Structure 1
Amino acid sequence: MVNSLDFTKRLKEIFEYYDLSASSFADRIDVGRASISHIISGRNKPSLDFVMKVVSNFKEVELYWLLNGKGYFPSSKDNRNVINAKEEFVDDIKPEEPKTIEPLLNDNSNQVSHPKKEIQKVIICYTDGSFESFQN
């Protein structure tokens, strides 16, 4: 899920880099000026069509950077090689075997007689309402 506030900041970086106003930016990517205004104000989220128009009209804008803020802007061939190298390392990472959790000791006892438990699922909830779920 795209964080609208962060997306807006990256959009404004593009405006500044190309020395464009919001209206000239809208004209350049062939969208209505109100669309830009609504996205910047947070009223609307960017559509896939909008994002693709930005990426196709501004070659220095990488899709992953625009959506997630990861990567580089302006993009360069050297930067893309760095990203590709990082992706190769990520592909080499193998998941670890599930870890077991031993129950915590109670202050009133020295030992707990519960068997070891395995983690089945972890859910991380973010403040923007999105979440990630990791399952064994």
Structure 2
Amino acid sequence: METLLDNTKFAKRLQKIMESHELSATSFAEKLSVGRATISHLMAGRNKPSLDFVMKVVDTFPNVELEWLLYGKKTTPKPPPPTLEKTIIEPQENSQKNLSNSLQKTSEEQTPKTAQKSIENIGAFSSSKSAVKRVIIFLEDGTFESYEM
């Protein structure tokens, strides 16, 4: 009967984690909040790891990938989650008044009245005397709207 997890290889990967973090079996067990005997039995190949144990390792050591821990396979790195970036305000020849008027006309059709008040005061965000060229609005659903002036 073929098993999905090779206990000996799993124990070697646990050993690599302990070595890379300079942890003894006792301190490794403490870090994971498991008994020292659990680590001993796993390292000797007597027991198979529980799902709870595997998830504790992955959660405690963020650099450890689940597929590697279980099967020794390296996976491609996950791209970092998208982050909201600050709006870049670039100089333009138009005045702040034109910006406010353009945004107001566009937003009257697309945004509620409460958002219009914020958009009308967009000039307060500019720290330079140059006019605003572009405004990007990030929405809660992860999309964005870009307004060129």
* TM-score interval (norm. to shorter): 0.5 to 0.7
CA displacement at 1:81 relative to structure 2: 5.4
Residue 51 of structure 1 deviates from its aligned partner by 0.3
How many Å separate the matches in 1 of 2:46 and 2:29?
A: 17
Q: 1:44 aligns with which of 39, 44, 47?
A: 47
Aligned to 1:8: 11
d(CA) in 1 for partners of 2:48 and 2:78? 31
Q: Which runs of 5+ in 1 are unaligned?
A: 73-78, 83-136
TM (norm. structure 2) is 0.49
Partner of 2:20: 17
Residue 66 of structure 1 aligns to which amino acid in structure 2?
Answer: L
Number of positions where the alignment pairs a residue of Structure 1 with one of Structure 2: 76
CA-based RMSD of the aligned residues comes to 1.5
Matches of 2:78 and 2:65 in 1, distance apart? Answer: 13
Structure 2: gaps of 5 or more residues: 80-149
2:77 aligned with 1:80, yes or no?
A: yes
Tell me, in whole angstroms, the C-alpha distance in 1 between the residues paired with 2:37 and 2:55: 18
> Partner amino acid for 1:69?
G
Q: What residue is the counterpart of 2:58 in the other structure?
A: 55
**Residues 76-105 of structure 1, C-alpha deviations (whole Å, 9 max, x = no match):** xxx5159xxxxxxxxxxxxxxxxxxxxxxx
* Aligned-residue offset at 1:57: 0.2
Q: Runs ≥4 in structure 1, deviation > 3 angstroms?
A: none
Deviation at 1:60, TM superposition (A): 0.5
TM-score (norm 1): 0.53
Higher-Rg structure is 2
Indicate the residue corresponding to 2:30 in structure 1.
27
Match in the other structure for 2:90: none
3-state SS, counterpart of residue 53 of structure 2: helix
